[in-house]
A and B are shown apart, each in its own frame.
Chain A
Amino acid sequence: AQSVTQLDSQVPVFEEAPVELRCNYSSSVSVYLFWYVQYPNQGLQLLLKYLSGSTLVKGINGFEAEFNKSQTSFHLRKPSVHISDTAEYFCAVAQGPNAGGTSYGKLTFGQGTILTVHP
């Protein structure tokens, strides 16, 4: 079974400042990792994903994340935030392929981090 811990429930930041939202996961098998964003009264939108390959992943809206297997982390970063980035951000993990190559889609989510960007 997998679990996800988002270390900060709320992150306030000023506009144009850098931000890092922290995510740690626990799993005994290989994983796929995702970051989703949820704006008020909307569904979840995929920001970026790590499935394999380069551990530095770039996503939409200038966000990027780095997969660190030894530290079991997948922190989300943006060098300069905008007011429009104010939203709730969710880190999620899915089990990677088993020995037979079968993948599983079930996402396990963290509790979310509310990012508030102040002018």
Chain B
Amino acid sequence: DSGVTQTPKHLITATGQRVTLRCSPRSGDLSVYWYQQSLDQGLQFLIQYYNGEERAKGNILERFSAQQFPDLHSELNLSSLELGDSALYFCASSGRQGGDEQYFGPGTRLTVT
């Protein structure tokens, strides 16, 4: 158990819909990262928040957004969902802005039908 929790574990929704994925980092960790894992793209970095502020952005679509709240949990919002958004979404946390190991949650499997 990494100490990072993600909910829900599975999510099935229809095209055009909007969903919210939630992540609670390890106790004391200030950085939260979101990654997408799909068969065709592999593991890709989406976005990082550090102590409530956006720190780095990767290949995140404009239809996707995220935020980190004062209690340090984070939410990833995916809207206007398309079939191609079906993937495993991982959250990871670390203590610093960078230069340290990241601990991954169990992931949320999103299926868009």
Hey, which bits of chain A sit against chain B, CB under 8 A? Answer: 32, 34, 36, 42-46, 49, 51, 90, 94-97, 102-112
Selecting from B12-20, B69-77, B92-100, the interface stretch reads: B92-100
- A116 CB to closest chain B CB (Å) equals 18
* B111 at interface, CB cutoff 8 A: no
Query: Which residues in B have their C-beta under 8 angstroms from that of A49?
Result: 101
Complex: A96 Cα to B99 Cα, angstroms: 7
CB<8 Å pairs between A and B, sample of 18: A43-B2, A46-B102, A46-B103, A49-B101, A94-B98, A95-B98, A102-B97, A103-B97, A103-B99, A104-B98, A105-B33, A105-B48, A105-B94, A105-B99, A105-B100, A106-B45, A107-B102, A109-B42
Query: Which residues in B have their C-beta under 8 angstroms from that of A94?
Result: 98-99
* B31 at interface, CB cutoff 8 A: yes
Tell me whether A34 and B101 are in contact (CB under 8 A): yes
Query: Which residues in B have their C-beta under 8 angstroms from that of A42?
Result: 106
Q: How many residues of B contact A (CB 8 A)?
A: 28
A105 and B31 contact, Cβ closer than 8 Å, known pairs A43-B106, A44-B90, A46-B101? yes
Query: Which residues in B have their C-beta under 8 angstroms from that of A102?
Result: 97-98
B105: contacting residue among A43, A51, A108, A112, CB under 8 A = A43
Complex: A32 Cα to B100 Cα, angstroms: 9
* B107 at interface, CB cutoff 8 A: yes
Tell me whether B33 and A103 are in contact (CB under 8 A): no
Hey, which bits of chain B sit against chain A, CB under 8 A? Answer: 2, 4, 31, 33, 35, 42-45, 48, 55-56, 58, 90, 92, 94, 96-107
Question: Which chain A residue shows the least CB distance to B56?
Answer: A106
- B22 CB to closest chain A CB (Å) equals 15
Complex: A36 Cα to B97 Cα, angstroms: 20
- A52 CB to closest chain B CB (Å) equals 9
- A103 CB to closest chain B CB (Å) equals 3
Complex: A34 Cα to B90 Cα, angstroms: 17
Tell me whether A90 and B55 are in contact (CB under 8 A): no
